[in-house]
Amino acid sequence: MDKIFKALASEPRRRILDYLAVEPMTVGEIADNFEMAMPSISRHLAVLKEAGVVREQKRGQYMLYSLVTNRLTGQLYDFLAPFCAQARGIVEARPRRRGRD
Amino acid sequence: MDKIFKALASEPRRRILDYLAVEPMTVGEIADNFEMAMPSISRHLAVLKEAGVVREQKRGQYMLYSLVTNRLTGQLYDFLAPFCAQARGIVEARPRRRGRD
DNA sequence: TAGTCATTTTCCTATTTAGCTAAATAAGAA
DNA sequence: TTCTTATTTAGCTAAATAGGAAAATGACTA
């Protein structure tokens, strides 16, 4: 949960997700859309992969990245649900440990 | 959009939102649930306010913080929608400038 | 007015993050 | 094998962030 929000808290990484939402792409193809150097893109992709929102597949000497849509939507919906419920006055907020950290 | 994801990319801040989802609270009441010192809580609240997900109301010498639910849900749904659509194969990803940054 | 309580601001330090270039890996082509 | 291309890793610097303590602000009370 923390990883997914950290992953999304970056304009370049959200842009990468936009591109991948259209179609899977190699690192180089993604990098062509940015002014950033490829190693930087590579690390952004690693962060997104760590968060589970993209996956990588070796395709010869290329690395193909694609979106893990249900991971993205699922995690965010899970986070949102309690707040939606509260907005409608239906239930209490989702359970979370209270008290000292 | 950037601000909301940055605001959510913090465990303590998400916990604060959980508390506020139950009921509005003063800074001191919120701080009682953390080991963190109050000034730190105060700054986390400022970040959440900057992102528009909480609002503050002066109540005498207390400051009452409460959730801006529709802001939270609206922004995240807007972000998610294109990915949901893509998952169902309905439309292309949401428009965003492509090409060089 | 002086004193107290709640909150914010300032100043400081430690940690994390983003970006770069250069070097290392890995696969394909000659 | 050697050369080339695609990607990742290492090593670095600059900037952002989180936290604390102490000072400043603002409102209530005596």
> Residue A9 maps to which CATH number?
1.10.10.10
pLDDT at residue B100 is higher than 50:
no
With a pLDDT cut of 90, the percent of chain B lying above it is 73
State yes or no: pLDDT of B91 exceeds 60: no
- Write the pLDDT tens digit of every residue in A10-59: 999 999 999 999 999 999 999 999 999 999 999 999 999 999 999 999 99
| Angstrom distances, CA of residue B66 to CA of A48, B5, B17, B28 | 32, 19, 9, 14
> In chain B, which residues touch A (CB < 8 A)?
1-2, 5-6, 8-11, 14-15, 17-19, 21-22, 33-36, 67, 69-70, 72-73, 76-77, 79-80, 82-84, 86-87, 92-94, 96, 98-101
Is residue A97 assigned to a domain? no
B47 CA vs D20 C1’ separation (Å): 18
A100 lies in some domain: no
| Mean pLDDT score across all residues of chain A | 87
A81 in a domain, yes or no?
A: yes
Sorted by sequence, the CB contacts under 8 Å of residue A96 that are 6+ apart come out as B15, B18
When pLDDT is cut at 50, 70 and 90, the band that residue B22 belongs to is very high
Asked, for residue A99, whether it belongs to a domain, the answer is no
A18 domain residue, yes or no? yes
Q: Is residue A101 scored above 80 in pLDDT? A: no
Expressed in percent and rounded to 5, the helix, strand and coil fractions of chain A are: 55, 15, 30
Q: Is the pLDDT of residue B40 over 60?
A: yes
**Does any domain span residue B68?**
yes
Q: Which nucleotide is nearest to B35 (CA to C1')?
A: D19
Closest residue, by C-alpha, to the C1' of C10: B39
> Is the model's pLDDT at A90 over the cut of 50?
no
Question: Domain for residue B100, yes or no?
Answer: no
Amino acid of residue A91: V
Confidence of residue A97 (pLDDT cuts 50, 70, 90): very low
Give the count of domains, chain A. 1
Residue B81 confidence (pLDDT): 85
CB contact at 8 A, B64 and B24: yes
Kindly identify which residue of chain A lies nearest to residue B75, measuring between CA atoms.
Answer: A80
* Residue ranges making up the domain that contains B44: 2-87
Rounded to a whole number, what is the distance in Å from the CA of B58 to chain A's nearest CA? 23
Q: Which amino acid is at B61?
A: Q
Q: Does residue B89 carry a pLDDT above 90?
A: no
Domain for residue B56, yes or no? yes
Q: What is the mean pLDDT of residues A67-95?
A: 75
CA distance B14 to B35: 15
